[in-house]
Amino acid sequence: MQLNLSTWCEVKDYLKTQKDIIIPIGSMEQHGPMGFIGTDSICPEIVASGISKTQNVLIAPTIPVGMSQHHLAFPGSLTLRPTTMIAVIKDIILSLTGHGFTHLFFLNGHGGNVASIKTAFSEIYAEHSLSNKPSSVHLDLYNWYDGKRVEEIENKYFKDVNGSHATPSEISLSFYAHPDAVKKAELSPRVAPTNQFRDCFDFQNNFPDGRIGSDSSLASIAVGKELFEAAVQDALEIYKQFINNKP
Amino acid sequence: MQLNLSTWCEVKDYLKTQKDIIIPIGSMEQHGPMGFIGTDSICPEIVASGISKTQNVLIAPTIPVGMSQHHLAFPGSLTLRPTTMIAVIKDIILSLTGHGFTHLFFLNGHGGNVASIKTAFSEIYAEHSLSNKPSSVHLDLYNWYDGKRVEEIENKYFKDVNGSHATPSEISLSFYAHPDAVKKAELSPRVAPTNQFRDCFDFQNNFPDGRIGSDSSLASIAVGKELFEAAVQDALEIYKQFINNKP
Amino acid sequence: MQLNLSTWCEVKDYLKTQKDIIIPIGSMEQHGPMGFIGTDSICPEIVASGISKTQNVLIAPTIPVGMSQHHLAFPGSLTLRPTTMIAVIKDIILSLTGHGFTHLFFLNGHGGNVASIKTAFSEIYAEHSLSNKPSSVHLDLYNWYDGKRVEEIENKYFKDVNGSHATPSEISLSFYAHPDAVKKAELSPRVAPTNQFRDCFDFQNNFPDGRIGSDSSLASIAVGKELFEAAVQDALEIYKQFINNKP
Amino acid sequence: MQLNLSTWCEVKDYLKTQKDIIIPIGSMEQHGPMGFIGTDSICPEIVASGISKTQNVLIAPTIPVGMSQHHLAFPGSLTLRPTTMIAVIKDIILSLTGHGFTHLFFLNGHGGNVASIKTAFSEIYAEHSLSNKPSSVHLDLYNWYDGKRVEEIENKYFKDVNGSHATPSEISLSFYAHPDAVKKAELSPRVAPTNQFRDCFDFQNNFPDGRIGSDSSLASIAVGKELFEAAVQDALEIYKQFINNKP
Amino acid sequence: MQLNLSTWCEVKDYLKTQKDIIIPIGSMEQHGPMGFIGTDSICPEIVASGISKTQNVLIAPTIPVGMSQHHLAFPGSLTLRPTTMIAVIKDIILSLTGHGFTHLFFLNGHGGNVASIKTAFSEIYAEHSLSNKPSSVHLDLYNWYDGKRVEEIENKYFKDVNGSHATPSEISLSFYAHPDAVKKAELSPRVAPTNQFRDCFDFQNNFPDGRIGSDSSLASIAVGKELFEAAVQDALEIYKQFINNKP
Amino acid sequence: MQLNLSTWCEVKDYLKTQKDIIIPIGSMEQHGPMGFIGTDSICPEIVASGISKTQNVLIAPTIPVGMSQHHLAFPGSLTLRPTTMIAVIKDIILSLTGHGFTHLFFLNGHGGNVASIKTAFSEIYAEHSLSNKPSSVHLDLYNWYDGKRVEEIENKYFKDVNGSHATPSEISLSFYAHPDAVKKAELSPRVAPTNQFRDCFDFQNNFPDGRIGSDSSLASIAVGKELFEAAVQDALEIYKQFINNKP
């Protein structure tokens, strides 16, 4: 059930029996010469969509732009400042809790978002703790690629060259989601270097074509399909724990 | 050309010959018993997509959540505070101008966004004016429903009962975009009341089912198709003026 | 009744029978070679003063500096950033509603303020909507020059050359308010160009002497007097609707 | 020379020979049963006006609302939060320094503003110090009642009962400025109590009619006239030091 | 009793009988060629520690970095922006009042902090006054060097050359606190100049070695010991008034 | 070398040969019935102090209050909101980089600070990336307890009952730092429960005496001494990599 395509009456009905919602959150940032700029939004969006096919759960619209300051030297990358992102997440959480939602599951596609999302959660909780008003909201953050089934597939196909940005894993999944838009590119070197990074200029110095430690050329729609099924199972498992274990 | 599905290399190439981009911006808010919560995002998104088929222009991902505080009494509606929305728009504009984009066209689907978007533009310009640094960016805001071709169709099919929220016009367009999700509902009264509103509680008092002045039941995919073609022509005309007339 | 010259005991008495107040709001910005920098504050201030002579209503002090970033290239212009202006309006509204005022009528003199004022209203309402606390405040915004009586006079005397900044209309009214300070200047061209504008540098490029589309030289104290009477009638009419129609 | 009633061309000429400006700053807050709510704005405004008659200096419009949170329990009092006030002062200073003004003299009428104004000055300077960009602006704050000539008159007429809020001194000066609006009231006790205060509820508990330590009933237009002349001389002396001693 | 070294159970017990706490607040800024960068934090910290030996009172950890923008041209100086400092003080006050503390005594070591601390207090009170929620907190600010006993010692040993920054008085006290770290330096001139200052560049121009009006070379551990005892007595006296006189 | 006890001249000399600094950062929050409220500040402070004895490096004053919203239900705990903490860290970083420091090593004692500190780093970098100004600063975050030597000791003495809050490990280290303040308490149950937590009310429900998964009673000064030596070695190793590997 997509919030986007529901009416308020349908959401009202949904809330009579359940109070949980999945919020895909991604980014709009370069993913090397072959990867879509929207990779990190496309992936959690399709995984959420997969979940909603086996589980009756409401899916919020994907938050499309994340914390991607380090990618700004590559054309087309967009970022929110971390403090802007905190404000966005806070307003969305307040909107949802106002309707009675109690379990909000942020299904994330971008490692660079993690600290900002967690900080937004703490900002919300701090507001309650400082004003002596207990909160009824449960907030969880899960990266679609963090489950064991996904890891197995990554190890099977991309061992050692999955890297940490523009990975063949995430590119496969995004290709599976958008088969008509699949790209090809000569990668040189095949496997990108690894390193730390600071601002976008430092990032570009370290990673001239935008990839970190990955060989994106191994990406395929076929592996994307396997990853999709694995990621849906992984996320579903975590999601069920989330809505069951917490009162 | 969708930013979402492009690589940074493709955007780099694009920027060699043109510096303009269309940014659809909408909202996630109730649209009465028949309208999608995502109506105001779906409409500019599909219009932008239509434009990109006749004009080589880059389309940014749709900003899905807008300023919808007045709808929060209806389940599923989300809002950003105006000041959050200003921060979001500012960061996106700064990201794009950093890449060399000079003409940013916000294609809007929600009247309630207008003041906040204009204020965001002024905040950006004020930064330049107060720090004595001339800006090279041109910012424009256009509501997809403001053109004369759209107005003609609205007058033809929905005269006097198009209203101002959950209009059969916007619902038709969103149905055309998502024919599989079309809703039906009994509307009572057929034509919703009109009035002003303040916060979401006042809004709900005035408009018990969420519509303002409209008879949503007149919406149809067929009219949606006509509206789509008209809206693309209207927006394209304004867009061309925007990128041609300003140096 | 001027808040400025009242005691708190007088305001306490006033609040026993009515809860409405008029807040003039203007700007401090260039108005071409003949217009006062304070034109947009002077005009709503004198109109408010006129209203208070026929209607028992409390007039707040004029907010003298507005959103005028686009005028900063002209010496003497002052601006608040939009976000600062939102904070100012918010604090003043909170102060007044704390005393029990329920109907706040912002009588505006500057088109450039409109988006920021409306956004401030939404920010207030969003606070209520997001925290589930219905608001009792009614906020209205009216530009002194938007009524039909004023329009008639403008059409009679300044047709086609009233323009949109440093208009002979607003300059006439400000001259009527300050006859001792009336200015003369050679205008070249007599009728200023029209165009859009972005930051203050772009504004100055487009409008070298600061006027937009206007022939300020037609301004006179005599027409100012007519405008004053018309504007008071126009605003009074709207004001009465505002305090009567809303519960 | 009043900024309010000047054209940008006149300000441009002024800046050819001098770069200083006086900015009256006050408050809108109760001043006991006899004092105007606008007392603290009226006083620096008339003193600034007096200065401009003997010294060629530009006078900015009075900032009418200040930091008066402690007065909010008395109807009609308005406040800006301190952080809002800092933003306002910052924007006005940036506007003026952008035009080339180098010496900004804030002529203050309200003790409660002092910490916020000084903090705003530090915020501006901190911006320069933290970004390694030396500032050319000189900022000064002077309370109109702090000079020795004013003190002598206060001692002569109001010794021991001038108090610290709703003083016969400030009320005399405001009565001199607005003789038609002079109020009378029975004061009980004649001399108000003194104490410290915290928020507006605590203030009202301590000072039931709003005065602190003062016998406002001693106020008169005649003493107001003497105070006016003294305050102009005092402020002028400090002002000349300000613009002469600092390079 | 040091908060730092207490358990929550001990604080819980403390709160059964008293609700007061002392919060030392200082800065991290140059103090001339001989003075510690931490002088202004060390001094209130040791005075607070002295108080806690004669009076059962809880001492919060010292806030180590203050508003020192004017010192940034000297290596090692740190500053918070005033608005950051306001946020810090606000959060700490809210944390403490949440536990039931009612009397918070800020024992300050840095004159440059005063306006920001007072503004933070007003920001807290304004929040209460604007939201119609009376506050139970009592906030006080006391500079350790402002008492009469300290003044006597300063007059006895450093008359006329104590100055206002890097004073032999504060340096003596910090040397007494850290005898192993005592510094020596050639001072030229012995007595530093006095003047006003703006940003850190202006400060450095006026005060090349960082001192203002002081002869730091007179500092000694012996006088530091006398100052310590005097400052503890002075502060204790004020502190007792603070907790006794206010209900 | 402690910044606190240095003069600006000494820091100036230091900067001639090295540009690195260690910034201990902790929290002020309950650590169960036996642990100091200052545990998380005391630990990185003493580790930093240990490092400075074998390595010539400047140590900044410890940031004493961190992000501890979840502990506020326990008396004496203090918190900064995450956004306040971001502002504090940003100002300190800007102060240091203004002096020419290039390598800033945050030595952290509190897991709850991690997301906020990382977010602050990103906020700084985002400022650079969005304004097209490459940054020269290198920021690193290291938790004193994350090294392999510390882990070995924890496994040796506290295996399975070290837990994640009020661990015998951190309490041992803080006891070693403050042997005179060592506490004893009956713990029931000996080993605290484990769980997740949200705001401070939820935390207290889950962990009635404040501990998570730990048996604090195993803490001892003797193990604290071992941990101190291990932690210094661990941190030094990481620190040397930090200052050597990055240009």
Q: What is the mean pLDDT of chain A?
A: 97
Residue F18: both structure tokens together = 């090295």
Q: What pLDDT score does E216 carry?
A: 98
Instruction: Return d(Cα A130, Cα F73) in angstroms, integer.
Output: 9
Residue D43 confidence (pLDDT) above 60: yes
pLDDT band at A246 (very low <50, low <70, confident <90, very high): low
State the ipTM, two decimals: 0.97
Instruction: Return d(Cα C233, Cα C147) in angstroms, integer.
Output: 9
Looking at chain D, which residue has its C-alpha nearest residue F92?
Answer: D130
End-to-end CA distance of chain F: 23
User: Taking an 8 Å Cβ-Cβ cutoff, which residues of chain D contact chain F?
Assistant: 129-132
Q: Cα C61–C62–C63 angle (5° rounding)?
A: 115
Domain residue ranges of chain F, discontinuous segments joined by + = 3-244
Q: Are residues C91 and E132, on separate chains, in Cβ contact within 8 Å?
A: no
On chain E, the residues whose CB falls within 8 A of the CB of A130 are: 91, 94-95, 98
Residue F173: both structure tokens together = 């280290």
On chain A, the residues whose CB falls within 8 A of the CB of E94 are: 130-131
On chain C, the residues whose CB falls within 8 A of the CB of A95 are: 130
Q: Are residues E122 and D82, on separate chains, in Cβ contact within 8 Å?
A: yes
Instruction: Return d(Cα B104, Cα B137) in angstroms, integer.
Output: 8
Spatial contact of A246 and A193, defined as CB atoms under 8 Å apart: no
Closest CA to E196 of E87, E84, E109, E70: E70
DSSP string, D190-214: SSPP-----SHHHHHHH-TTS-BS-
Sign of the four-CA dihedral D230, D236, D241, D246: positive
Residue E233 confidence (pLDDT) above 70: yes
Spatial contact of A67 and A116, defined as CB atoms under 8 Å apart: yes
Chain pair E-F, CB pairs under 8 angstroms? 181
CA distance B82 to chain D (A): 17
- pLDDT per position as a tens digit, D194-206: 999 999 999 999 9
Residue F204 confidence (pLDDT) above 70: yes
Q: What pLDDT score does B245 carry?
A: 72
Q: What pLDDT score does C26 carry?
A: 98
- pLDDT per position as a tens digit, D142-154: 999 999 999 999 9
Closest CA to A211 of A180, A247, A170: A170
Q: What pLDDT score does C66 carry?
A: 98
Question: What region does D44 belong to: left with phi over 0, alpha with psi -120 to 50, or beta?
Answer: alpha
Residues in chain F: 247
Q: Are residues B126 and C198, on separate chains, in Cβ contact within 8 Å?
A: no
Residue C243: both structure tokens together = 């305090």
DSSP 8-state class, residue E193: P
Only one residue has tokens 């140096």, namely B247
Chain pair A-F, CB pairs under 8 angstroms? 116
Q: Are residues C82 and B82, on separate chains, in Cβ contact within 8 Å?
A: no
Q: What pLDDT score does A245 carry?
A: 72
Q: Over pLDDT 90: what percentage of chain F?
A: 99
Instruction: Return d(Cα B202, Cα A184) in angstroms, integer.
Output: 55
- pLDDT per position as a tens digit, D192-246: 999 999 999 999 999 999 999 999 999 999 999 999 999 999 999 999 999 997 5
Q: What pLDDT score does C75 carry?
A: 98
CA distance C237 to chain D (A): 25
> In the CATH scheme, what is the homologous superfamily, with its name and number, of domain B3-244?
Creatininase (3.40.50.10310)
Instruction: Return d(Cα C96, Cα C77) in angstroms, integer.
Output: 29
CA distance D87 to chain B (A): 13
* E160: phi then psi, degrees, rounded to nearest 5: 75, -20
pLDDT band at C178 (very low <50, low <70, confident <90, very high): very high
Q: Which pTM was predicted?
A: 0.97
CB-CB: which of B72, B118, B130 is closest to C129? Answer: B72
Q: What is the mean pLDDT of chain E?
A: 97
DSSP string, F45-86: HHHHHHHHHHS--EEPPPB-----GGGTTSTT-----HHHHH
CB-CB: which of C73, C79, C82 is closest to B119? Answer: C82
Residue C247 confidence (pLDDT) above 90: no
What mean pLDDT do residues E30-40 have? 98
Only one residue has tokens 């000055």, namely D121
Q: Over pLDDT 90: what percentage of chain E?
A: 99
Q: Cα C137–C141–C146 angle (5° rounding)?
A: 155
pLDDT band at C246 (very low <50, low <70, confident <90, very high): low
DSSP 8-state class, residue D67: -
Instruction: Return d(Cα C221, Cα C202) in angstroms, integer.
Output: 32
Neighbours of chain F (3+ CB pairs under 8 A): A, B, D, E
Q: Residues in chain B with pLDDT < 70?
A: 246-247
Q: Do chains A and D touch (3 or more CB pairs under 8 A)?
A: no
- pLDDT per position as a tens digit, A85-109: 999 999 999 999 999 999 999 999 9
Looking at chain E, which residue has its C-alpha nearest residue C92?
Answer: E130
Looking at chain C, which residue has its C-alpha nearest residue D183?
Answer: C7
At E143, is the secondary structure helix, strand, or coil? strand
Q: Which residues contact A155 (CB under 8 A, 6 or more apart)?
A: none
Q: Over pLDDT 90: what percentage of chain A?
A: 99
Q: What is the mean pLDDT of chain F?
A: 97
The CA–CA distances, whole Å, from D108 to A60, B152, D115 equal 52, 59, 12
